[in-house]
Amino acid sequence: MTKGLPRQKPIAGIKQVIVVASGKGGVGKSTTAVNLALGLTANDPSKSVGMLDADVYGPSIPKLMNLKGNPELTDNNLMIPLTNYGIPCMSMGFLVDDVAPIVWRGLMVMSAIEKLLRQVDWGSLDYLVVDMPPGTGDVQLSITQNIPIAGAVIVSTPQDIALMDARRGAEMFKKVNVPVLGLVQNMSVFQCPNCNHQTHIFGSDGARQLAETLGVKLLGDVPLHLNIRETSDRGKPVVVSSPDSPEAEAYRKVASAVVQRLKEVRP
């Protein structure tokens, strides 16, 4: 890290931080982050996993995890995460009204991120999965410079325009010395529920080719499936609501690949 950057300080009680990022919005990053967290616990129930929604302007975790309300405070004035499906979660969405726009400048956002990171009673966690905002801006830099990150997961569709931004995201993490665990190719294929014909709506294998170009692993493919969208909108992620489905299996495979990559990149 270059001179002048903040010194990284671990979050008390958290063993490894995994950030889930994308170069642009609308590629299914938050849905992937939620199902990754649930997949980690489904694969190994002995592991404790938490979720931080770092998308201050557009928090999605309250909806995806079916959580509402304001966090209570401990005697030490730390916020207590809201929990569902065994995953403690913290989000700006718990602190503001559902439809209230957050019109903040950079310094206010940085202050909010610091509070969400440090002023929360996370307890003891094996993994904290951080749902990053899209892009490569202030929030991404602030988080990567302030806490040790075990690795980054980049989510993209196979579409060329999404892959361009996914590459920027991966390159940003490399610049700040965060290991890129790999890419998740989301919405990789659509299978017609009537005739089972498969259509590659957003192109075929674009993320796989980008992973090869960047020299990183393709962590898995997740299909474009109605079940994923419906369960997400109901706040019942597919990994817990349809655990035997091929869609849930796809996320569990991604979670397994993430754990394997964490072992490989660990110093």
- β-pairing, 151-156 vs 125-131, is unpaired
The two beta strands, 198-199 and 180-191, are antiparallel
Best CA proximity match to 263, nearest among 221, 220, 217: 217
**What 3-state class would DSSP assign to 250?**
helix
Q: Are strands 49-53 and 82-84 parallel, antiparallel or unpaired?
A: unpaired
pTM of the model: 0.90
Per-residue confidence of the chain (267 residues) as pLDDT tens digits?
A: 445 556 789 999 999 999 999 876 778 899 999 999 999 999 999 999 999 999 888 899 999 999 999 999 999 999 999 999 999 999 988 987 766 666 666 677 778 888 888 999 999 999 999 999 876 667 888 888 889 999 999 998 777 666 777 778 888 888 889 999 998 988 776 777 777 767 766 656 666 677 777 778 889 988 888 888 999 999 999 999 999 999 999 999 999 999 999 999 886
Residue 77, sorted as left (phi over 0), alpha (psi -120 to 50) or beta, turns out to be: left
Using CA atoms, how far residue 126 sits from 14, 18, 50, 72, 122, in Å, is: 6, 10, 8, 23, 11
Contact call for residues 90 and 80 (beta carbons, < 8 A): no
- CATH fold, domain 14-265, is Rossmann fold (3.40.50)
